[in-house]
Amino acid sequence: MARKKLIAGNWKMNGLLADGVELAKNISSGVKAMGKPQCEFLVCPPFTLLASVKKALRGAKVALGAQDCHMAEKGAHTGDISPLMLKDLGCSHVILGHSERRADHAESDDIVCQKAVAAHKAGLKTVICIGETLAERESGKAVDVCKKQILGSVPADSSAADTVIAYEPVWAIGTGKVPTTADVEEVHAAVRKVLAQKLGKANANKMRILYGGSVKPSNAKELLSLPDVDGALIGGASLKAEDFLAIAKNGGC
Ligand code: PGA
């Protein structure tokens, strides 16, 4: 089953207006220069940059996503952003359940699931993140933790058309540490299996499962050539257009 790889940048809380626009323009021209790339591209800037990045990406095949949304369409939720607002702004995607949100904002699987339902209803595609902590990895629970997060965070009516999974071991994020390829493949295969139980085999076979956590140009080839790895969610290295594009190129795009 051929799944088109997705190369996604998670800019996190980085970038003022001028930096964000420049980064987007450089990514945009780099992707254009690739001609007909074998991959799809996505960038997820902070909320404050979405509108200007959208403009800077004009004409390039690079999708725009946010890094979170609320579970309600509108209402009395000071400081929050609804999925409809993101859609209205030209976003096609939203990252949900990133481990930094799970940790900093106490987002449970159930909250992530409710946000995903709302995002899908608004017509957004979700990138739902899962991943174990170092303690969980060291006590041999990585696969079980990830399966539980999939069961709790992914809405029951999700499909490959509206959902992407990102496996991001918490201990690999921003640390330069990366699991062995055998460990990555073990989790990705287990995730696909549990997706098949939850959503049916056809959906599971089509659904993209990205790897995230210290992806860089030097390890992209190895990670992105694994059979169940369908792209990357890139943090730090997505803040430099040349690294982001090099990851894509080295990853076979
Ligand atoms: P990193 O972050 O590439 O900086 O490790 C990945 C992520 O958190 O999405």
- Closest residue by Cα to residue 164 from 29, 63, 45, 23: 63
Our answer on whether the CB atom of 129 is closer than 6 Å to any ligand 1 atom is no
Our answer on whether the CB atom of 178 is closer than 6 Å to any ligand 1 atom is no
Q: What is the pLDDT of residues 174-206, one digit of tens each?
A: 999 999 999 999 999 999 999 999 999 999 999
Catalytic residues: 98, 168
Task: Report the separation in Å between the CA atom of 75 and the middle of ligand 1, taken as the mean of its atom positions.
Answer: 32
pLDDT at 139 over 60: yes
Rounded to the nearest integer, the mean pLDDT of the chain is 97
Our answer on whether the CB atom of 44 is closer than 6 Å to any ligand 1 atom is no
At residue 137, the 3 state secondary structure works out as: helix
- The per-residue pLDDT for 2 is 82
Atom index in ligand 1 nearest the CA of residue 175 equals: 5
Q: What is the pLDDT of residues 214-246, one digit of tens each?
A: 999 999 999 999 999 999 999 999 999 999 999
Task: Report the separation in Å between the CA atom of 76 and the middle of ligand 1, taken as the mean of its atom positions.
Answer: 32
Our answer on whether the CB atom of 173 is closer than 6 Å to any ligand 1 atom is yes
- The per-residue pLDDT for 1 is 56
Sign of the C-alpha dihedral computed for residues 65, 67, 70 and 76 taken in this order: negative
* Cβ-contact 234, 10 below 8 angstroms: yes
Q: What is the pLDDT of residues 12-63, one digit of tens each?
A: 999 999 999 999 999 999 999 999 999 999 999 999 999 999 999 999 999 9
Atom index in ligand 1 nearest the CA of residue 166 equals: 9
Residue with tokens 């140009």: 217
